[in-house]
Amino acid sequence: MNLNSETVALLGNLNALAGGLFLLCTFGMVATRQVQGCLRLFIAQALFLVLSAFLLSGLLHSRHVFAVGIINLISKPFLVPWLLRRTVRSEVYSRREIDQLINIPASLLIALALAIGGFFLASPLLRVADGPYVAVNLPIGLACLLLGGYTASVRREAVPLLLGLLAMENAAFFAGVAIVPELPLIAELAIAFDVLMLSFIVGLLTRTIHEHIGTTEVGALTALKEETKP
């Protein structure tokens, strides 16, 4: 479909807005205390990814990206939380994480530094880019990848840690919809399936940990070390 330049500008801005809110949701995942809150922010992040995918599929005239949007819409906001709820006992969701490895205001500042670092890392790549939307999606994707990795490193509860890992994958895809609109469909389907399987398996593992150790605070498991035991 042919769009006039004003609509293109508006849709481009909406894509940038989806990107900004995507980044904001990732920051929220770093800082939020509640497990439920982390899950809701993850769902919001996935919805912004889907929005960006749909906008870019129209702007770049790519059916593959549209399929990416559909696949992500089905898997991330619906199937992943459903799988997690089925495998992990529901009482885990009422947990609040009172302390993380680094306290929350310091975490936010470190996350900010990582995000700005991500933007700087992406700038040499942008010189090679030919489309205007790569300049939005790639830096935000790289920044959120770093933020997700940071979340997975400092969080001690099992479910937010897993959500941090899934957020990293969301971020990689957020960059991907702009830089590789022709990704083969089978790769997208397989990656989505892989995410679902990861959620399922990690949910099972969390339940087993909960059953055998009694807590899901996996950051506190530090039994395997080399020092001589007293």
Going by C-beta distance under 8 Å and a sequence separation of 6 or more, which residues neighbour residue 81? 39, 43
For other proteins, give the closer residue by CB, 73 or 108: 108
* Shortest distance, position 165 Cβ to other proteins, whole Å: 5
| Residues contacting 53, CB < 8 A, separation 6+ | 65, 66, 68, 69, 72, 177
Compare residues 1 and 224 and give the one whose CB is closer to other proteins: 224
Strand partners, 96: 34
State which residue, 6 or 91, has the beta carbon closest to other proteins. Answer: 6
Q: Which of 174, 134, 168, 169 is nearest to 151 (CA)?
A: 168
Angle at 143 between CA 8 and CA 170, to 5 degrees: 75
Amino acid found at 61: H
Residue with tokens 């590789």: 180
In the complex with other proteins, the residue whose CB is nearer, 39 or 192, is 192
Tell me whether residue 101 or residue 116 sits nearer to other proteins (CB atom).
116
CB 77 to other proteins: min, Å: 19
Residue 127 phi/psi, 5-degree rounding, is -70, -25
* DSSP at 133: S
**Looking at this protein, which amino acid is placed at residue 147?**
L
Rounded least distance, CB 53 to other proteins, Å: 14
Q: Work out how close the CB of 201 gets to other proteins at its nearest, in angstroms, rounded to a whole number.
A: 6
What's the min distance (Å) between Cβ of 21 and other proteins?
Answer: 7
